[in-house]
């Protein structure tokens, strides 16, 4: 498998952190830290930070993403944000199906698919999250869970659609827990995901798909994780909120 055939993407998921003022300060630091990174860098910020993030990142290599989107263009969906709103705001990426959305806000495989299709239709790059619970891994269900999630998320998508898709493997047991999948575990599941995509589409489509690892990636383990042949970057939580840590990860992703 030739990693040069696909893009390495380091995406920071800020989650529910940083006011607009705090975001402006962090972005100033990030521009100096990762503005010339050798990989693609995206910061997925809270909705209230999008305007300042787009303004600050204009003219830099840093792209701005959102953390969710709705699948309808408009309507009576209090608290939701449409893809058209994100596009007009200057967003290029959007996270879909993060485990925290599934766990706390009722996301299902079906709604993840609907959101992903809406994002791609709007010409946004959808970062689709998949991953198993600790109980599922301990019961040897990782492959069945990941297969179900990937297959459902890509339902009714074409090969062309997949040029606007990134899949992020995030084992739920490693998100925000300090526990990290070993490089072997990450490589195994990311490779398995690539195999699913090959079965659904073809080898060329699978080889060109960016697959990230997410789950407590930090400066001390990033090099080993990102060196794996099927790991094409990371979806980063806590480490994306510290410019020095994010810079270390960007350097590891740029090798």
Active site residues: 98, 170
Decide if 135 contacts 176 (C-beta within 8 A). no
Q: Which residue has the tokens 């305007």?
A: 51
Decide if 232 contacts 207 (C-beta within 8 A). no
Could you tell me which of 41, 26, 15 has the C-alpha nearest to residue 254?
41
Q: How many helices (H) and strands (E) does the chain have?
A: 11, 8
Taken in order 161, 166, 172, 176, is the CA torsion positive or negative? negative
Render 57-109 in DSSP notation, one character per residue: HTTSSEEEEES---SSSSSS-TT---HHHHHHHT--EEEES-HHHHHHH---H
How do strand 125-130 and strand 93-96 relate by DSSP bridges? Answer: parallel
CA distances from 126 to 26, 65, 108 (A): 24, 9, 16
């Amino acid at each position: 498998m030739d990693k040069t055939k696909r893009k390495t993407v380091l995406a920071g998921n800020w989650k529910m952190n940083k006011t607009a003022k705090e975001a402006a300060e962090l972005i100033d630091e990030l521009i100096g830290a990762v503005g010339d990174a050798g990989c693609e860098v995206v910061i997925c910020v809270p909705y209230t930070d999008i305007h300042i993030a787009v303004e600050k990142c204009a003219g830099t290599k840093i792209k701005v993403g959102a953390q969710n989107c709705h699948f309808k263009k408009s309507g009576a969906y209090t608290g939701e944000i449409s893809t058209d709103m994100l596009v007009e705001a200057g967003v290029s990426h959007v996270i879909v199906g993060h485990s925290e959305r599934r766990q706390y806000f009722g996301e299902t495989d079906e709604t993840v698919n609907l959101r992903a299709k809406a994002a791609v239709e709007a010409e946004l790059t959808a970062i689709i999250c998949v991953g198993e619970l600790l109980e599922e891994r301990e019961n040897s269900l990782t492959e069945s869970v990941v297969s179900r999630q990937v297959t459902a998320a890509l339902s009714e998508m074409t090969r062309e659609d997949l040029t606007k898709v990134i899949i992020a493997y995030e084992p739920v047991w490693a998100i925000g827990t300090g526990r990290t999948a070993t490089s072997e575990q990450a490589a195994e599941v990311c490779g398995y995901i690539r195999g699913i995509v090959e079965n659904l589409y073809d080898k060329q489509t699978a080889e060109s798909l960016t697959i990230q690892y997410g789950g407590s990636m930090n400066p001390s383990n990033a090099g080993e994780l990102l060196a794996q042949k099927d790991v094409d970057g990371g979806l980063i939580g806590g480490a994306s909120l510290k410019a020095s840590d994010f810079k270390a990860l960007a350097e590891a992703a740029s090798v």
